[in-house]
Amino acid sequence: MSQVGEPIFRLATRGDLDALVRLEEAFPEEDRFNRRTWRRLLAGNTIAHVAEYNGTLAGAAVLLLRYGSRIARLYTLSVCPEMRGKGLASQLMLAGENSAKEKGCDRMRLEARESNHTAILLYERSGYRVIARVADYYPNGETAVRMEKPLGMSLGEKR
């Protein structure tokens, strides 16, 4: 458990299931994962990191890996509203990138709603560049911005 005022970053476990479901309660329903999906993600070919603050789960990042592919995909990233703007998402991304690199991946890819300027800024600041725009990607018809970052560079280095 983390000490007061000091977030810790660790791999998610099945014991985090309830807290992961709660973390997304503030999101619009179409952007949430249900318990079953979270359970599947934690058991699958994924890398899931969480941020814990004062013993409470404050953020999570899940990467999907595919056998035979060197591209890791950021599947979900979220930080609870009261802990935003403190660098937790950047740290979670970094933890995921380092783990993906350790598993032999050389690129990380992600999609974000083109209206999600906060997330896009975060990804740009973390070294991601837009490689495509995918029309009608989300259930409401919104376009996705597809971004990618090479993981071959030194860990944590920005372009």
Residues that bind ligand COA (CB under 6 A): 77-79, 84-90, 112, 116, 118-119, 121-122, 125
Which residues lie below 8 Å from residue 110, measured CB to CB, with a gap of 6+? Answer: 73, 74, 123, 128, 146, 147, 148
- The residue length of the chain stands at 159
CB of 94 to ligand COA, least distance (A): 10
Residue (42 or 110) nearer to ligand COA, CB: 110
Residue (69 or 118) nearer to ligand COA, CB: 118
CB of 68 to ligand COA, least distance (A): 25
Residue (104 or 118) nearer to ligand COA, CB: 118
DSSP secondary structure code for residue 14 in this structure:
G
CB of 83 to ligand COA, least distance (A): 7
CB of 64 to ligand COA, least distance (A): 14
Residue (68 or 159) nearer to ligand COA, CB: 159
CB of 43 to ligand COA, least distance (A): 22
Residue (68 or 139) nearer to ligand COA, CB: 139
b/e string for 89-100 if b means 16 or more Cβ within 10 A? Answer: bebbbbbbbebb
Report how far apart, in Å, the C-alpha atoms of 88 and of each of 54, 84, 92, 130, 145 are: 14, 7, 6, 22, 22
